[in-house]
Amino acid sequence: MMIDIISLWCNLMLKGFLSRAKLDWVSKLHDDIAHDIDEYEIITVTSASQKYLFDEPCIRDILMSTVNNNPTHRVSINISAIENERKIRKIQDSAATFFILISDIRETRNHFSRELIKLMEKLSIRKVNVRYLVIIFSLNCEQNNNMNIILQDAWNKQMADFTIIEFFDSYNEGNKIFKNYYPTEPKIHLFNPFLNSFTHKFYSLQPELFPDIMKNLYGYPLKVGVFHNPPFSYVRWYDNQTLMNMSGAAITVIKTLALKMNFTLEIAPRLKSFPEIKDNTLPLGFFELMKSGRLDILADISPHFTERLSENAFRPKPIFLGEFCPLIPITYEIRIPFSWALFEAIIVTIIIILSFWIAAIMLRFTKKYWNVSIIARLLFGIPIKYYPTKSSQRMLMSILTLISLNYTAIIYGSLAKVGVETDIEIEYRDFDDLVNSGLIPIIPQYLYEKTFGESEGAILKLKNKSINTTEIWNCPVNVAKYKNVTCLMEKLAGEIFIKSEERSGRKTMKFMKTCLWSDSFTFLLRKGSPYRQAMEYIITRFFEVGLQIKWFNSDFELSAVDENADDFIEQFSTPQTVLIHQLLGVSIFDPESPNKVMFYLQEKPLMIEGCQVGLCDWEYLKNRFRRVLDECDPQRCNFVLKKDTCIK
C-alpha cells in the first residue's frame, strides 16, 4: 500500500515537473507555427499506416491551434496505391500552402519514406508560396546525417522553405508511463543550399523555424537561357556554346534580379543546341526544356503560349501587360471628297432657274428670251445674243443679272474646292478590312496557335494567309520599305520600331486600333521553381517604382542598338525573300585579257574607279576589295563566301 502511494506521488510530481518544463518551448512552438501559417492553406500528410500520429498530444495541440483559422486538408496516403492521384488533383490548386508532414520512426521497422517528399512535390507544383514542416518522431535523437539526407533530397526537388522538427523520447512498450506526455524539447534541422550548410539545433536555440534563405543567394549559380529577340534582347554568340555579348531590356531585368537576389548568371548554351528545342515545335520545346531542369530561368519576355492553367506553373508575376496587334504600313489613296457646298449650290441653282422660269410663264413673257437655257446662262454670267425690248422683261432680267454677280463667285469657289485631289491615309477599321487589303500577315511561330487556335470569320482568313517566322524583328523592315506585309507582334516592341522611324524623319508604319489579344508578359521558370516567390516580390517592387517604364522605354532600347548603325531599322538583316537590288556581273570575252567583267546594277552599267567604261579586270577587283572580302560576315550581312569572292 505504501509503495503504491509513493509511486502515485512520484508520478504526479514528475508529471507536474514535466508540464512546467515544457510550457516555455511548447507555447512558443505553437505561436511560431501559428505565425508562419498565417494566410496559408494547411495540408497535413502522413502515410495510411501511421494515422495514429494525429492522436499524439503535440500533433493534436498543433492542429487545434491552426485548424480554427485556416482551411485544412488531412491526407493519409497509401504510398503504393494508384488511387492517391484523385486525392492529389483535388487539392493541387491554391496560392499559398503550408504542408505538415508527420512520420514515425521510433520503431526499428519504420523508416522515413522519401515517397512522402515526392507527394508534397506533386501537391505544390502549381503553388506560388509554399512551406514545408516535417515532424518526425524518433526514439532517440537521430544521427544528423540521416536528417541531412532528407534535407538534401528535398532541395533536389526544389523545396526551399523546408524545416524538420524532430521529437524524440525514451518510452518503450514495456514502460508506457510517459506515453501521454509531451516528448522532450525537439530538435530543429535546416539546410541552406546557397551556403551548403546544415543546422541542427534544439528548438530553444533556433530563433526561426523558417529563415528567409532567399533574401541572399550568396552568388549561387542559376542556369539562365537567353536568345536574340529584338527589341527586348540582343544576343550574339561566338558559337553555340560561347556567349559574345547580350543587351536589351530583358537582359537588364534578369541582371537586376541577379543583383537583388545575389545570384550568379550562368548563361546556358544557345537554346537551339538543346534536344528539347530540336525535337519539339515551339512553344512545346520551351516547356519541355523548363521541365528538364537544364534551365532555372528563360530570360525572354513572353506571353502565355496556351490557355491551359498548367502553364502558370512556369510563370511568375507579369513584368508588363501588353497587346498583340497588327503593325501595318502607312499608305495613302487619292480621293475626291464629297462637297456639301457643291451639293447646296446645285440645289440653289435649280431653285433659282425654276423660280425665274415659272415667273416668266406666269407673266406671259416671250418664251424666246425666257427658256431654261437662257436663264441658266444669265445666272452663270454667260453672255446671250438677244435681249428683250419690253421694260418689264428687261427689269426681271436685270434682277437675274444682279443675282448672277454674287452667285457665280460662290459656285465657282465650290467647284475649285472639288477639283483639288487629296492624299488620305488608309484606315483599316476591322480585320475584314485587313484581310481585303492584300497585306500578308507575318506572325511569330510560337504564338501561332495562341492567336489562331480557335479562329473563325476574318481571323480564320488571316490564319489562312499568314506566314510563320522565328525572326519577327525582321518583319518591320518589310512593312517600312515594301508595304506588302503586316506584322502581328507585341505592341510595345512595335512602338520601338515606329519611334525609330519617326526620329529619322519618316513615318512609315503604325498599329491598327483593333488588337488580336492582350496578355501579361514575363519570364519562364523551371517548373515548381523555389525562386518564384522571391522573384515576384522584386518584380512587384519594380512596378511600384516604375522601373518597367524606364527599362522598356524606346530611348533605352535604342541605346542597345549597334552604335555604328546609321539607322535603327537598318541594323536588322534584310529578308532573304525580298529582292531589292540585283548586281549582275557579265564576263566579257577578250582574247588579250579574258578575265574581264562588266557590272550592271538595276540594268545600268556600274562605274567603278579603275575600270574603263565599267569594264573591270577580275584580278584588279580581287585586289581592291580584298579587305572587304576578309571582313565579310555571312551571318551579319547576308553574304556568302565562295572561292575568294563575296557574292550577295
pLDDT in tens, 324-362: 999 999 988 776 666 676 677 778 778 888 888 888 888
Calpha distance 277→268 (Å, rounded) = 13
Which residue would you say has higher pLDDT here, 116 or 321?
321
Calpha distance 182→190 (Å, rounded) = 23
pLDDT for residue 463 is more than 70:
yes
The candidate with the shortest Cα–Cα distance to 640, out of 575, 598, 623, 629, is 629
DSSP, collapsed to helix, strand or coil, labels residue 82 as: coil
pLDDT for residue 479 is more than 70:
yes
The pLDDT value recorded for residue 272 is: 87
Helix axes 249-261, 532-545, angle to 10 degrees: 120
> Across the chain, which distance is largest between two alpha carbons, in Å?
162
DSSP 174: T
DSSP, collapsed to helix, strand or coil, labels residue 294 as: coil
- Residue 172: band (very low, low, confident or very high) from pLDDT cuts 50, 70, 90: very low
> Tell me, what amino acid is at 69?
N
DSSP, collapsed to helix, strand or coil, labels residue 617 as: strand
- Residue 639: band (very low, low, confident or very high) from pLDDT cuts 50, 70, 90: very low
> Tell me, what amino acid is at 291?
K
Which residue would you say has higher pLDDT here, 51 or 218?
218
Q: What angle do CA 146, 149, 155 make, to 5 degrees?
A: 145
Q: Report H helices in 55-196.
A: 57-67, 84-90, 115-124, 144-156
End-to-end C-alpha distance for the chain, whole angstroms: 112
Calpha distance 439→157 (Å, rounded) = 50
What cell numbers appear for 289 in the block? 526544356
Calpha distance 438→452 (Å, rounded) = 19
> Tell me, what amino acid is at 640?
V
Average pLDDT over residues 78-83: 56
What pTM was computed for the model?
Answer: 0.70
Which parts of 356-444 are beta strand (E)?
422-425, 440-444
Q: What are the two backbone dihedrals, phi and then psi, of residue 45, each rounded to the nearest 5 degrees?
A: -130, 135
How many residues are there in the chain? 648
pLDDT for residue 643 is more than 50:
no
Average pLDDT over residues 147-171: 86
Which residue would you say has higher pLDDT here, 264 or 561?
264
Q: Could you identify the residue written with the cell 431654261?
A: 372
The pLDDT value recorded for residue 8 is: 52
Do 307 and 486 form a contact (C-beta atoms < 8 A)? no
Calpha distance 95→144 (Å, rounded) = 33
Calpha distance 490→480 (Å, rounded) = 17
Give Rg (Cα) of the chain: 42
pLDDT for residue 456 is more than 60:
yes
Q: Which of 124-133, 449-458, 511-520, 544-553 has the highest mean pLDDT?
A: 511-520
CA 26 to chain centre: 48
- Residue 146 burial (C-beta neighbours within 10 Å; 0-12, 13-18, 19+): middle
Torsion of CA 149, 150, 156, 157, to 10 degrees: 160
pLDDT for residue 152 is more than 90:
yes
Calpha distance 310→70 (Å, rounded) = 25
The pLDDT value recorded for residue 300 is: 93
Which residue would you say has higher pLDDT here, 447 or 642?
447
- Residue 610: band (very low, low, confident or very high) from pLDDT cuts 50, 70, 90: low
The candidate with the shortest Cα–Cα distance to 200, out of 116, 281, 246, 138, is 138
DSSP, collapsed to helix, strand or coil, labels residue 165 as: strand
Of 78-87, 135-144, 430-439, 563-572, which gets the smallest average pLDDT? 563-572
Do 46 and 53 form a contact (C-beta atoms < 8 A)? yes
Q: Could you identify the residue written with the cell 416671250?
A: 366
Average pLDDT over residues 91-107: 75
pLDDT for residue 209 is more than 60:
yes
Average pLDDT over residues 249-265: 94
Average pLDDT over residues 225-238: 92
Q: In what helix (H) or strand (E) does residue 327 lie, and over which residues does it extend?
A: strand 320-329
Percent of the chain at pLDDT above 90?
A: 29
The candidate with the shortest Cα–Cα distance to 179, out of 169, 188, 189, 187, is 169
The pLDDT value recorded for residue 534 is: 92
The candidate with the shortest Cα–Cα distance to 569, out of 461, 639, 497, is 497
Do 572 and 477 form a contact (C-beta atoms < 8 A)? yes
Calpha distance 509→486 (Å, rounded) = 9
